[in-house]
Amino acid sequence: MNIDGVLVVPKKIVGDDRGNVMHVLRSDDPNFVHFGEAYFSAIFPGVTKGWKLHTLSTSNMVVPVGEVRFVMFDPREGSSTKGQYDDVTIGESNYQMLSIPPGVAYAWRNSSDRSALVLNCATELWSAGESSHLPLETYPFTW
């Protein structure tokens, strides 16, 4: 990925005719830092969510249902990639974990015709000061 600190990590799907097993996160993964909180965020077709910006938490996200396009913007002072955008689409057909460090803003869109599900295994607990929502116009992007 172009933005410093953003990772896309392939995750294994173990095929099974009764239903697949899909890896998410292990405490001995090279990019595992800390477990703060896990939550799902469903996103309906056509919807864009974001920008979201964390001050402390790294977001570790997988999309086990559907496909979601994530766009990132780096507003960090002193970052070698300050001012850059990046984007990736992950989901059932490209099953990977997207890891976004604190300070990097992200927005995400479900461009498909069915609901998608995002799981975020955040490194820190949510708190009012830790997470903020910015209007989409904050960092203009042509989707």
Contacts with a second copy, residue ranges (CB under 8 A): 18-28, 35-44, 47, 49, 64-65, 110, 115-117, 119, 121, 125
CA 106 to chain centre: 7
**Beta strands 67-73 and 105-109, pairing class:** antiparallel
Least Å distance between CB 69 and a second copy? 15
Question: Which CB, 2 or 125, lies closer to a second copy?
Answer: 125
Least Å distance between CB 79 and a second copy? 28
Least Å distance between CB 124 and a second copy? 9
